[in-house]
Amino acid sequence: MLKLGVIADTHIPDRARKMPARVFKLFAQEEVDAILHAGDICTRRVLQQLGEVAQVYAVRGNRDWFIPELKMSVKLQFEEVTIGMTHGHGSGWGYVLDKLHLLVHGPHKFDHVEKKVQRILADCDVMVFGHSHVPVNRWQEGRLLFNPGSACCPNVFVRNATRTAGLITVDGSQVQGEIVDITDG
């Protein structure tokens, strides 16, 4: 059995000063084998700090200008499960189109991000993404769609939003996702 810590949209230092201590405590307590960061990291320091807990795999978000070596998407194999990860904006133009979608449809509709992720990671058993700052842990057509939300800055347009991180457990071909509220600490 393998346990993965999942995090996204940390936005340090542009929206948050530092990573909440609760993130490190959760991942250490759960003894995660690896950490997946689904983008909008903003500074290498975040990856270095997470790397002190476990090996880190990360993708480039729309705010990761200073970490250009990160890929837009990655596919990882854990036991019998293929996990794909992308931020969810797609590209620079994708980010602009997301902002237009927000203006037209309002700030509560994120299905366009999920559809984009499903196209990018179509051949994966688990699709990990970020971008919306809204947690998602849902099975769809036999695949897990998983967004850990934001550990530092939850979506301000979602009522009662909290800071969250995620855990994914892989046991052979079996997968289970969990969203963890890390608001306290």
User: pLDDT (tens digit, 9 = 90+) per residue, 38-85?
Assistant: 999 999 999 999 999 999 999 999 889 899 999 999 999 999 999 999
The pairing of beta strand 55-58 with beta strand 164-171: unpaired
Tens of pLDDT, residue by residue over 107-146, are 555 676 788 889 999 999 999 999 889 999 999 999 999 9
Residue 137: how many other CB atoms lie within 10 Å: 19
Question: Pick the residue with more confidence: 162 or 91?
Answer: 162
Position 78 scores a pLDDT of: 98
> Is there a cis peptide before residue 154, judged by omega within 30 degrees of 0?
no
CATH architecture under which domain 2-181 falls: 4-Layer Sandwich (3.60)
H/E run at residue 135: none
Q: Is 105 a residue whose pLDDT tops 90?
A: no
- Both tokens of 105, joined, read 């449809």
Q: Where are the domains of the chain?
A: 2-181
7 and 167 in contact (C-beta within 8 Å)? no
- Both tokens of 52, joined, read 């002190």
Residues of the chain with pLDDT > 90, as a percent, come to 71
Position 110 scores a pLDDT of: 65
Range in 39-53, 85-99, 167-181 the model is least confident about: 85-99
What gap in Å lies between CA 136 and CA 115, rounded to an integer? 13
By CB atoms closer than 10 A (0-12, 13-18, 19+), residue 155 is middle
Which alpha helices (DSSP H) does 84-143 contain, by range?
Answer: 92-105, 111-120
